[in-house]
Amino acid sequence: MVEALVQALKDEDAEVRWAATRFLGEIGDERVVEPLIQALKDEGKRIGAVMYLRKIGEPAVGALIQALRDKHHHVRETAADALGEIGDARAIESLSELERHAKRELREAAKEALEKIKAKKI
Pinpoint the alpha helices (H) of 40-86. 46-56, 61-67, 73-86
Residues 6+ apart with CB under 8 A from 58: 86, 88
> Following DSSP, what letter does each residue of 18-39 receive, concatenated?
HHHHHHHHHH--GGGHHHHHHH
Q: In this structure, what CATH number is given to the domain that contains residue 52?
A: 1.25.10.10
| Tens of pLDDT, residues 20-29 | 878 888 888 7
pLDDT at res. 38: 83
Rounded-to-5 percentages of helix, strand, coil across the chain: 75, 0, 25
Residue 122, pLDDT > 70, answer: no
Exposed/middle/buried for 1, CB within 10 Å: 0-12, 13-18, 19+? exposed
pLDDT exceeds cutoff 90 at 92: yes
64-75 pLDDT tens trace = 999 999 999 999
Question: Domain count of the chain?
Answer: 1
Most confident of 8-12, 32-36, 114-118: 114-118
Q: Which residues form the domain of 59?
A: 2-121
pTM assigned to the model: 0.84
Find, among 75, 80, 86, 84, the residue nearest to 37 by Cα: 75
Task: Reply yes or no on whether the pLDDT at 32 is more than 90.
Answer: no
